[in-house]
Structure 1
Amino acid sequence: MKSKIKIKIILVDDHAVVRAGFRMLLGTHDMIEIVAEADRGEQAIQLMQEHAVDVAVMDLSMPGLGGLETIRRICQRDSKAKILVFSVHDEQVYVNRAIAAGAKGYISKNSAAANLAMAIEHIANGEIYIEDGLLKDQTGKSDVMDYHAIIEAFSAREFDVFRLLAKGMTVHKVAEELCLGYKTVANYGTQIRNKLKVSTLAELAHIAVILGLMKN
């Protein structure tokens, strides 16, 4: 999944040596261009307004606003903002809170170096990317069986819409992908969420991941 134009990113981390490592790592990828750097959330918000950024790569542990509040504020200003969390924290609670705040992806700093560029490309292309193993199954076995049964009962169209929404696509993009009307896809989305008893795209993505239906 290669983009034809460069993916412009901003690096947000309070440690200069970490940002330098990012630059070295991403400098080997021709399709990624670092256009700005920030060492705290307040600066990141300002730079996001000044630059045409495709993806913000952001740590969670920073002075000032902190990563989670920065994500929330950026997404409040721009609902289409694409943020990848790249953090030392790999606990479930951090992943859940980051996605709930509006992040489109999450990888740990312990992951393979190649995962960073891969995650950036996925998110730049409108997908959700969560490192394998970070979304652990916190549901009971009976809940997983229920999800399987519900999804197996989906119509072909419902399953297609579910799969694309779980990948992080907007309703407009799903409609375009499947050659359906916006209202039709929106109605499918409502039906799917009601059947699975969830209310957010992050929850749909979680279900898809724990059932092995969405591979990163």
Structure 2
Amino acid sequence: MSAAKSIRILLVDDHAIIREGYRSLLQKQPGMIVVAEAVDGAQAYRRFKEYSPDIVIMDISLPGQGGLQAIARIKQNATAAKILVFSMHQNPGFAVQAIHAGALGYVTKSSMPQVLIEAVQDVHAGRLTLSADIAQVLALETLGGDHKALQELSVREFEILRMLVEARSTDDIAQTLNLSPKTVSNCHYLIKRKLGVASDIELTHWAIRMKLINLLELSGPSSEYL
């Protein structure tokens, strides 16, 4: 395949070493080229508009506006955009939310490199694709009430939930997502009602139980050295 016909990729991840590793992997494949990179959702949107890539490979745990919001924003700008989520999160709820936001695929970072390569080809061809670990859980799991409640959240509510359990303030969330504090407060209330929790402490416990966050993430910056 000539360079002119290569799949042009925008790679979005906030970790430089991870981006470098996967850029190297992708560019070793015939017919694939990484034309741009981004470190957060806002930059991903700008890079998408600037480079018009054939496919976006995006983590969803990004600083500032998360990957789900970035996916939704890109899809609003270009409904035909093809987006593959590449994430550490193995909770199928994340995959469901990513698809709701507009992604065509979801691959976990624990997958073999060939799985990512094949997913890029599938998404570029317009096919929905999931890595085997996610597909198996979705196929075999009898979804309990907690999982069903998670899927009831909108993309906006899911992103606000993610920030709430990171102990971010209403004003901080509002500024990050370009919303009014009142809107965030209203969403905060709706999230707790949908999930059936009465307090923020219960909300955090619920998020840990659902593996949306873990105890290491709650222990602060020093956790990265543990």
Q: TM-score, normalised by structure 1?
A: 0.61
Letter in 2 for 1:36: A
Query: Matches of residues 48-63 of structure 1 in structure 2 within 5 Å?
Result: 48-63=48-63
Letter in 1 for 2:22: F
- What is the CA deviation profile of residues 49-87 of structure 1, one whole-angstrom value per residue up to 9, with x for unaligned ones? 111300000001010111111111111111111000000
RMSD of aligned residue pairs (Cα, Å): 1.7
CA–CA separation in structure 1 for the residues paired with 2:52 and 2:60: 22
User: 2:10 aligned with 1:25, yes or no?
Assistant: no
More helix by share: 2
Q: What is the DSSP-based 3-state SS (H/G/I as helix, E as strand, rest coil) of the residue aligned with 1:80?
A: coil
Q: 1:128 to 1:107 in 2, by over 3 A?
A: same
User: 2:34 aligned with 1:34, yes or no?
Assistant: yes
Letter in 2 for 1:29: Q
Letter in 2 for 1:59: D
What is the number of equivalent residue pairs in this alignment?
138
Unaligned runs of 5+ in 2: 144-226
User: Which residue is 2:123 aligned to?
Assistant: 123
Query: Matches of residues 41-120 of structure 1 in structure 2 within 5 Å?
Result: 41-120=41-120
CA–CA separation in structure 2 for the residues paired with 1:102 and 1:133: 21
**Residue 132 of structure 1: how far off its partner (Å):** 1.7
Query: Matches of residues 172-191 of structure 1 in structure 2 within 5 Å?
Result: none
CA–CA separation in structure 1 for the residues paired with 2:79 and 2:86: 20
CA–CA separation in structure 1 for the residues paired with 2:57 and 2:18: 12
CA–CA separation in structure 1 for the residues paired with 2:27 and 2:79: 29
- What is the CA deviation profile of residues 91-149 of structure 1, one whole-angstrom value per residue up to 9, with x for unaligned ones? 11101000000000000000011111111111111111111231323458xxxxxxxxx
**Residue 4 of structure 1: how far off its partner (Å):** 8.9
**Residue 26 of structure 1: how far off its partner (Å):** 1.1
Q: What is the DSSP-based 3-state SS (H/G/I as helix, E as strand, rest coil) of the residue aligned with 1:56?
A: strand
CA–CA separation in structure 2 for the residues paired with 1:27 and 1:46: 22
Letter in 2 for 1:76: Q
CA–CA separation in structure 2 for the residues paired with 1:121 and 1:5: 13
Unaligned runs of 5+ in 1: 141-216
CA–CA separation in structure 2 for the residues paired with 1:5 and 1:38: 23
Q: TM-score, normalised by structure 2?
A: 0.58
CA–CA separation in structure 2 for the residues paired with 1:18 and 1:91: 21
User: Which residue is 2:16 aligned to?
Assistant: 16
User: Which residue is 2:133 aligned to?
Assistant: 133
Letter in 2 for 1:122: D
Q: What is the DSSP-based 3-state SS (H/G/I as helix, E as strand, rest coil) of the residue aligned with 2:132?
A: coil
